[in-house]
């Protein structure tokens, strides 16, 4: 299937599920973060092909492992299969960006072909992503991060498998869980209060995801700000919450002073 055909399928599903999207975006509970998800985004046979193209052991992926997170990521589309490249690029096409922008009422959104902090993601047994707010900007610090798009492709993924997406309340005490269900697209707003995470993976097989971000020169709250990806612990993880405050402060100040940022060498260079 061509990239153009994948684009048309995505736009068609967005149009058909507009009513549900608008309702979810405006009436969510348990979190102040706006979001929506839609199921059955693409034909099953195509999604199976996408899933099978992921390397089952995560070969070639960059492994992150710390008290903050444990996962594997990949953004070099030139070194991936055609189908993985196409499904990732499809969400970056102007028509798709414009369609999603109009649905959520955000103006002047732009894609990010470099896939800074985006691309392909694999999480294996015991992998996790602690509650965090995303880096505020793109790799060049010119645009604010506004939307996070997560497309899940692992067949028969259930709540009991772990590795599910979580959106938190302001105090990061209670999560709203969205299952990383096969053929499900989740779109969430990203700002300096949008705490989210991924629960630890319990299943033996990998949770595979295609991740994209949209940016704009317009700040989400109309004010200028900057922060690195900032982590805290889960409820009950008091030491991670304490260490997180110090860790976030130090990394934020180093990033501001040196204009550095993790992951800048892992972007897509096509």
The burial class, CB within 10 Å (0-12 / 13-18 / 19+), for 71 is: buried
**Rounded-to-integer distance, Cα 161 and Cα 206, Å:** 10
The burial class, CB within 10 Å (0-12 / 13-18 / 19+), for 53 is: middle
**Rounded-to-integer distance, Cα 141 and Cα 139, Å:** 6
Residue whose entry in the numeric block shows the structure tokens 């196409």: 86
**Rounded-to-integer distance, Cα 256 and Cα 250, Å:** 10
Residue 263 has pLDDT above 60, yes or no: no
- pLDDT average, residue stretch 246-255: 91
Q: Where are the beta strands (DSSP E) in 42-172?
A: 62-65, 69-74, 119-123, 128-133, 144-152, 165-168
Letter string b/e over residues 208-220, b meaning 16 or more CB atoms within 10 A of that residue's CB: bbbbbbbbbeeeb
- pLDDT average, residue stretch 163-179: 95
CATH code assigned to 3-266: 2.60.120.620
Structure tokens at 89: 């690029």
Query: Tell me, what's the pLDDT at 210?
Result: 97
Residue whose entry in the numeric block shows the structure tokens 């102007």: 94
Residue whose entry in the numeric block shows the structure tokens 């982590």: 231
Domain boundaries, the chain: 3-266
- pLDDT average, residue stretch 148-170: 97
Helix 18-27 / helix 94-104 crossing angle, nearest 10 deg: 50
27-80 pLDDT, tens digit per residue, is 888 888 999 999 999 999 999 999 999 998 888 899 999 999 999 999 888 888
Query: Tell me, what's the pLDDT at 265?
Result: 59
DSSP helix, strand, coil percent of the chain (3-state; round to 5): 30, 25, 45
Residue 266 has pLDDT above 70, yes or no: no
| 240 membership: H or E segment, kind and range | helix 238-258
- pLDDT average, residue stretch 222-234: 93
With pLDDT > 70 as the criterion, what percentage of the chain qualifies? 96
187-210 pLDDT, tens digit per residue, is 999 999 999 999 999 999 999 999
- pLDDT average, residue stretch 82-96: 96
């Amino acid at each position: 299937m061509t990239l153009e055909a994948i684009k048309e399928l995505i736009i068609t599903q967005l149009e058909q599920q507009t009513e549900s999207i608008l309702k979810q975006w405006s009436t969510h509970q348990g979190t102040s973060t706006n979001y929506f998800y839609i199921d059955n985004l693409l034909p099953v046979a195509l999604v199976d092909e996408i899933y099978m193209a992921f390397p089952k052991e995560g070969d070639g992926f960059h492994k992150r492992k710390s008290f903050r997170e444990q996962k594997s990521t990949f953004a070099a589309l030139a070194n991936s299969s055609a189908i993985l490249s196409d499904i990732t690029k499809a969400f970056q096409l102007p028509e798709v960006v414009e369609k999603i922008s109009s649905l959520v009422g955000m103006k002047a959104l732009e894609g990010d072909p470099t896939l800074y902090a985006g691309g392909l993601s694999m999480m294996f047994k015991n992998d996790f992503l602690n509650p965090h707010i995303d880096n505020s900007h793109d790799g060049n610090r010119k645009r604010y991060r506004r939307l996070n798009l997560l497309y899940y492709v692992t067949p028969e993924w259930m709540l009991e498998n772990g590795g599910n997406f979580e959106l938190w309340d302001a105090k990061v005490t209670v999560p709203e869980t969205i299952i990383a269900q096969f053929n499900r697209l989740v779109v969430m707003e990203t700002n300096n209060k949008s705490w989210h995470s991924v629960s630890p993976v319990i299943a033996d097989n990998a949770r595979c995801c295609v991740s994209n971000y949209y940016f704009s020169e317009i700040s989400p709250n109309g004010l200028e700000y900057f922060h690195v990806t900032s982590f805290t612990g889960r409820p009950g993880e008091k030491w991670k919450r304490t260490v997180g405050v110090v860790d976030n402060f130090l990394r934020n100040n180093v990033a501001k002073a040196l204009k550095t940022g993790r992951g800048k060498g892992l972007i897509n260079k096509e």
